[in-house]
Structure 1
Amino acid sequence: MTTTADDLVTLVRGFNPKTNEASIRAAYAYGERMHEGQFRHSGEPYFTHPVAVAAILASQQLDDATIITALLHDTIEDTPASYAEVQEKFGKEVAELVDGVTKLTNLQLNSSETKQAENFRKLFMAMSKDLRVILVKLSDRLHNMRTIKAMRPEKQAQKARETMDIYAPLAGRMGMQWMREELEDLAFRVLNSEARHSIMRRFIMLQKETGDVISRITTDMRKELAKAGMEAEVFGRAKKPYSIWRKMEEKEQSFSRLSDIYGFRVITDSEEDCYRALGAIHRRWRAVPGRFKDYISQPKTNGYRSIHTTVSGRDGKRVEVQIRTRQMHDVAETGVAAHWSYRDGVRSKNPFAVDPVKWIAQLTEQFNGEDDHEDFLEAVKLEMYTDKVFCFTPKGEVIKLPRGATPIDFAYAIHTRIGSACVGAKIDGLRVPLWTRVKNGQSVEIITAEGQTPQATWLDIATTGKAKTAIRRSLREVDRARFIKLGRELARSAFEHVGKRATDKVLATAARALRVGGVDNLLEQLGSSNRTGREVVSAVYPELGLVTGEEVDRKRAVIGLEPGQSFDRASCCEPLPGERIVGITFRGKGVTLHAIDCDRLSDYEEQPDRWLDLRWHDGSHPAVYGATLELTVANDRGVLGRICTLIGEAGANIADLNFVERKQDFFRVLVHVELRDAAQLHSLMLTLEAENDVAAINRYRNVHAVGDSVAAGGHLP
């Protein structure tokens, strides 16, 4: 049944008697006229959709401007209406909101990661300007998901995945838990309908076996609270199918073994009564250890306040109980949207509603430092999709962190300087490893040392976007200095090899010719293997950078060696023709070739006189250069034979094969193959990766290897 203008006005007047009825009716009429002749996939007039979105926002008791925006949110994009016309008829505030929703609609949030990261940036920019834009967009998505069955199956799957990945977590982060749960369940119905139906059937069977559990527990709770002399509302519900399915997946338990599938809420008159109610419930039912959270004394950043506890009865069944006041409940239902809520014709003065400008500023502050798209996207998801824990500094200050955070995250949450200088931590007075997961209520003390710098391994330990951003930034600075130093030595060697000197003026000339923005940038590119010494020489002396097309011979495979110098390939990195290489000289042993990114090169950083800038001859090489592959493959009959066949068909030879781990379903194996060059290795890995029985494939490099490989060595006469 279509909601009429009268119906919508009546709905709004119910919470805002001072609403501007004329503006809402005018927007209704204008939107209906603009969308005339347009229809949805279901065959209904298209305007039924904007009206439904407006009704969803009205149910959240939002202001007139937001409801009018909902009625008009598709006009600028899909009808002859323009920004100027909307502004003239309904004011600049509404026009900007409609334009903001239009821009969000045009973001393709299901595209590649790089594009998706940029879209998230735009999303946060739009949110920071006026959060009501995203409230309209969320309601728009909710109605589209409610009516998704009219779409093609492939379109349903795309919208459902986008909803599960982006819109549902965003609604939850904004405190709109009811919307998150409904969006998740609607998406779950599309993405895994069989699992959802199975859970629903089990629910029905459970109700037949146990009766109306919710009614019995609700009645018992009301009696206990009445005994304690309190007036409170109590209501319960079964958790949504997706929430139950997620618990089954996380805990790896069957439905029959899940206990806390029911949730109950107690709404009291005052904060004091919240704690009295908690005491009454714990006296009657046994509290489950580790399942208590006090979000009243430690609110979430979106304003959420409530006491959470889980209790179990005589039959061992667990139920979750949330205890809060009416004002806390209003914020819990609408989250950040509570800032715009109206009651009795005036803006609701809910003391627990957060300032949306401050909230979005907190959320986006740390993302501004991320230059890398993938890093930014990771930081967004880390911050949006996690719950919080609350820890204390030794002085009693509260630090909020995502669940699963470590002392590294704690240190960076205090200050970047503290995080970078961290060398250890104490939790509740005891020394712990930096990878320890902090828990609610723990006291964390960070131990620092002058001269300490972030370690690359910290990226695997840290969980917050802020910590990861700061660590990456510091590592980039350290790497830059190291690459510049290495690049200077490689440049010196490259120019000396052609009888020239790598003076500052020569390097500046090369930097200008290559347009890299300065000598340091040029040296960094050279040291990080993004540019070769030959390219730098050619930029200044083009005639000296030319190479001849002589036929490749094993004994002449490497260019840059002196007559009479022999060479070996390092067994730690096994460099292949086509890869950037560096030579390290050994007295009496010739030169050892290392890949430019080999970790063992750090052993020679303080010995620049031993470095040689070398390169492989262009052209075709014989298949005699060894490389090791690490494969995780299914432990099924014939799998290993097929893999050996694929390697042979790729023109490679298996020199050795070694099992490093055997399990019932999978095993890991190291395969040493002989190849022509890096291009053949890449092609072989792609071929093996496409095999269904290959779960993972990596190039194995033994950084602990001692000595050097001589299988593909050579000697220059």
Structure 2
Amino acid sequence: MQTAVAPSPAVGPDSGSADAGFSAETLAPSAPRYLASDFCAYLETYLPPDQVSECYRAYLFGAEAHEGQKRKSGEPYIYHPLAVARILAEMRMDYQCLIAALLHDVIEDTLIPKEQVAATFSEEVAELVDGVSKLSQIAFNSRAEAQAASLQKMLLAMTRDIRVILIKLADRLHNMRTLDSMSPEACRRISRETLDIFAPIANRLGINRVRIELEELGFAHYWPWRRRVIQCALQRTVGARVEMVGTVETALKQALQQESIQGAVEGRRKHLYGIYRKMRDKSRGFSDLVDVFAFRVTVDRVDTCYRVLGLIHNLYKPVPGRFKDYIAIPKTNGYQALHTALVGPQGIQIEIQIRTEDMQRVAESGIAAHWMYKAGGQSPANPAALAADWLQNLLEMQREAGNSVEFLEHVKVDLFPGEVYVFTPKGRILNLKRGATVVDFAYAIHSDVGNNCVAARIDRRMAALSTALRSGQTVEIITAPGARPNPGWLNFVVTGKARANIRGYLKNIQQREAQVFGQRLLTTELASFNLDLDHIDPIRLATYLADANLRDLDDLLGDIGLGNRLATLVARHLAGNESDESASETSRDGDVHPHRLAIRGTEGMVVNFARCCRPIPGDGIAALFSPGRGIVVHRSECRNLGSLESKRDKRLDVEWAKDPEGEFPTEIRVEIGNRRGALAVVAGAIAELGSNIETVQSREKDGMTTDLEFQLLVNSRAHLARIMRRLRLIPLVTRITRITRS
């Protein structure tokens, strides 16, 4: 059988490097189709005959499996897997990967099971194919959830075998090349996903030739008008600067020849999506961009790169602050080069990158260079080793994530390349996302370091954990065995690993607190039936757990503590009083039910005190269930409670324990005359009575008086009353009120 498929010109030797920011002048054009025999002939250039035969056998197997199926364009479906395999062949991938590419849709789109693929070829091939296949047999609530779950499955399969993502990238690349046959809505959705997920993954793995084409095709389909505007502006610029490009190329070549340096010089413009992204991120117009043109100098050795840098800086004046040494400090995907910006002819800024031939191959192929050139070894810039570190982070994020959507959110955060380079006290370099803080740095070292960090020194000076880091700083993390993550860290961390670890820890803490609190709630309700947890009928409990799809009693107690399940209804079922609906409902109004839950203030995250009324011990209180949070306690007179009658199914009868523990926030407004030092006098009086001031805000009223709003920590209503009486003794104070917000 000789089947035709579209070629993949953008992964050939003339493609540009993403880090260099180059691209071909146009998107991949339509071209004559490859035959299956051409594909096998190409494989013979680097694979032994027996492996080529296995690939052809896989092609025949796939063609038979997809018999009768057609793509949206009307072509036989087998065209697609053969094109995907061709893309991977041009990366010099091994034959097992090529076989999996030829069969990558067999499990998902045909009746052939994974077991048959394993028996016909190998377990390794079957695992690769299964890793790429979507989760089509599971029902999801939304397209977003289904997409997230399938991507999570693929990324986790990638942690076991990196070739899974290479197959998926090749699959997405060919789909993008043939996107014109899809509906406009599907084009935009697929292009958005490509720009958000797959192009960044290709960049993270250093496969920059693929990344460039994914970005260009995604840009063309998602923002066609913006692309057209930039392309027209570039064409006008190219016409005016062709002479300049030729002048610079000639000057660079002559400088190399004079020093007897063997090297290639190439000048190109940056690719359209890269230009658009710079305009968007830096809020600049096209006319404000000064480095649309870039030049690449490729030499034989690393030391020659630095010699060439000196020659170039003698030839043209460098732009201060624009030099980057990615050879000494490689990017997270293994990319290495020297970057410098110069003031060229006619005062036009140009960008020049200097690299070796090996660096050029890694810049284009990234992790694929591991198969293509057998490069890497133990070099710190080895893409395979760097990818392994990233995959380890993915596994950790997956363990900490609550669901597939949250996991995908963490991955998206982690996909964008780092731009801050900081040092540990021992001289190790860490590459972090721009805006990364001390806490991000701590988690980048190790999860335990992040969980236990309490302070830090930046360049030997104490610094807050929220401090944003700058390149070149040396950061020392101070830890304490009993320290734990703070929920407030989520407000400033920027890396996916830090965010996933903090959320995971908080969820575990909340779950444990929810179980303890749920036990108190259920015990209180069971008491009305003269029961306790130790004397529940085990058969009735097991039946209830099975019906509720819960694993054990701890899961049930956690559900109750989080407000996802009402303790009253659970107690009724466990007591065997399911039919007593009216009695249960009556018990919720507080008149019949004698049992109230005592609030101690030590329940943790499952008991929340409403910010609108700030209840404190001594206030009359009422509580409402809030699914996923536990209960929210209000003051009885709080307007936000609304009609308790309409919310009695969510209402919980509560009261303060006899000896509440801890401090509780409350707010007061103090009207005071405008005098120098007035705030200090009021703050001093509050401190005298053992209260901490959390926040203070001032607002001038009429030029004569000022309103001071304090958020205080008190231990009871009596404590607050003593503070207010003390403040009234201050002559400048004209009025004091407790604040209740609507």
When normalised by structure 1's length, the TM-score is: 0.70
Q: Distance in 1 between matches of 2:544 and 2:584?
A: 25
Q: Distance in 2 between matches of 1:98 and 1:475?
A: 35
Of stretches 278-287 and 231-240 in structure 1, the one that deviates more from structure 2 is 278-287
C-alpha displacement of 1:155: 3.0
Q: Distance in 1 between matches of 2:42 and 2:316?
A: 41
Say whether the 8 Å CA contact 1:495–1:501 is kept in structure 2: yes
Of stretches 435-444 and 99-108 in structure 1, the one that deviates more from structure 2 is 99-108
Counterpart residue number, 1:367? 397
Say whether the 8 Å CA contact 1:172–1:180 is kept in structure 2: yes
Say whether the 8 Å CA contact 2:544–2:574 is kept in structure 1: no
Counterpart residue number, 1:178? 209
Matched, 1:124 2:155: yes
C-alpha displacement of 1:293: 3.4
Say whether the 8 Å CA contact 2:263–2:298 is kept in structure 1: yes
Counterpart residue number, 2:420? 389
Counterpart residue number, 2:738? 706
Of stretches 348-357 and 523-532 in structure 1, the one that deviates more from structure 2 is 348-357
Residues 496-519 of structure 1, C-alpha deviations (whole Å, 9 max, x = no match): 7x5968676579999768536666
- Map of 1:153-302 to 2, 5 A cutoff? 153-302=184-333
Q: Distance in 1 between matches of 2:383 and 2:572?
A: 64
Counterpart residue number, 1:304? 335
Say whether the 8 Å CA contact 2:207–2:366 is kept in structure 1: yes
- Structural RMSD (CA): 4.6
Residues 277-306 of structure 1, C-alpha deviations (whole Å, 9 max, x = no match): 223333333444444433323334543333
Counterpart residue number, 1:138? 169
C-alpha displacement of 1:269: 0.5
Counterpart residue number, 2:689? none
Q: Distance in 2 between matches of 1:509 and 1:97?
A: 42
Residues 165-213 of structure 1, C-alpha deviations (whole Å, 9 max, x = no match): 3222221122111211111111111111111110010011112233344
C-alpha displacement of 1:604: 10
Say whether the 8 Å CA contact 1:559–1:616 is kept in structure 2: no
Q: 1:474 to 1:47 in 2, by over 3 A?
A: closer
Counterpart residue number, 1:408? 439
C-alpha displacement of 1:270: 0.8
Letter in 2 for 1:592: I
Of stretches 141-150 and 12-21 in structure 1, the one that deviates more from structure 2 is 12-21
Q: 1:706 to 1:505 in 2, by over 3 A?
A: farther
Q: 1:381 to 1:592 in 2, by over 3 A?
A: same
Q: 1:471 to 1:26 in 2, by over 3 A?
A: closer
Q: Distance in 2 between matches of 1:203 and 1:104?
A: 40
Say whether the 8 Å CA contact 1:265–1:321 is kept in structure 2: yes
Q: Distance in 2 between matches of 1:296 and 1:208?
A: 34
| Alignment match of 1:593 (pick from 617, 622, 627) | 622
Say whether the 8 Å CA contact 2:96–2:125 is kept in structure 1: no
Q: Which runs of 5+ in 2 are unaligned?
A: 1-31, 596-607, 635-641, 650-698, 700-736
| Alignment match of 1:423 (pick from 436, 441, 454) | 454
Say whether the 8 Å CA contact 1:13–1:19 is kept in structure 2: no
C-alpha displacement of 1:456: 0.8
Q: 1:80 to 1:423 in 2, by over 3 A?
A: closer
Matched, 1:358 2:392: no
| Alignment match of 2:563 (pick from 512, 529, 545) | 529
Secondary structure of the structure 1 residue equivalent to 2:133: helix
Q: 1:529 to 1:706 in 2, by over 3 A?
A: farther
How many aligned positions are there? Answer: 594
Say whether the 8 Å CA contact 2:519–2:557 is kept in structure 1: yes
Counterpart residue number, 1:147? 178
Say whether the 8 Å CA contact 1:558–1:616 is kept in structure 2: no
Q: Distance in 1 between matches of 2:268 and 2:355?
A: 16
Say whether the 8 Å CA contact 2:423–2:430 is kept in structure 1: yes
Say whether the 8 Å CA contact 1:367–1:465 is kept in structure 2: yes
C-alpha displacement of 1:85: 7.8
C-alpha displacement of 1:357: 8.2
Q: Distance in 2 between matches of 1:532 and 1:83?
A: 44
Of stretches 189-198 and 479-488 in structure 1, the one that deviates more from structure 2 is 479-488
When normalised by structure 2's length, the TM-score is: 0.68
Q: Distance in 2 between matches of 1:522 and 1:101?
A: 34
C-alpha displacement of 1:358: 3.4
Matched, 1:538 2:572: yes
Q: Which runs of 5+ in 1 are unaligned?
A: 564-569, 576-581, 606-613, 622-659, 661-704, 712-717
Say whether the 8 Å CA contact 2:199–2:211 is kept in structure 1: yes
Secondary structure of the structure 2 residue equivalent to 1:266: strand
Q: Distance in 1 between matches of 2:128 and 2:556?
A: 48
| Alignment match of 2:126 (pick from 87, 90, 96) | 96
Secondary structure of the structure 2 residue equivalent to 1:439: coil
Q: 1:467 to 1:43 in 2, by over 3 A?
A: closer
Q: What percent identity do the matched residue pairs reach?
A: 35
Say whether the 8 Å CA contact 1:551–1:619 is kept in structure 2: no
Say whether the 8 Å CA contact 2:135–2:146 is kept in structure 1: no
Say whether the 8 Å CA contact 1:128–1:360 is kept in structure 2: no
Say whether the 8 Å CA contact 2:128–2:161 is kept in structure 1: no
C-alpha displacement of 1:268: 1.4
Of stretches 435-444 and 280-289 in structure 1, the one that deviates more from structure 2 is 280-289
Letter in 1 for 2:129: D
Q: Distance in 1 between matches of 2:166 and 2:567?
A: 55
Residues 127-146 of structure 1, C-alpha deviations (whole Å, 9 max, x = no match): 23433343233223222222
Secondary structure of the structure 1 residue equivalent to 2:384: coil
Counterpart residue number, 1:318? 349
- Map of 1:306-705 to 2, 5 A cutoff? 306-313=337-344, 315-341=346-372, 352=382, 354=384, 358=388, 361-373=391-403, 374-449=405-480, 451-484=482-515, 486-487=517-518, 490=521, 498=528, 505=535, 515=545, 521=555, 523-539=557-573, 541=575, 547=582, 573=611, 586=618, 591-593=620-622, 595=624, 616-617=644-645
Q: Distance in 2 between matches of 1:171 and 1:255?
A: 27
Q: Distance in 1 between matches of 2:632 and 2:219?
A: 53
Q: 1:433 to 1:602 in 2, by over 3 A?
A: farther
Q: 1:481 to 1:279 in 2, by over 3 A?
A: same
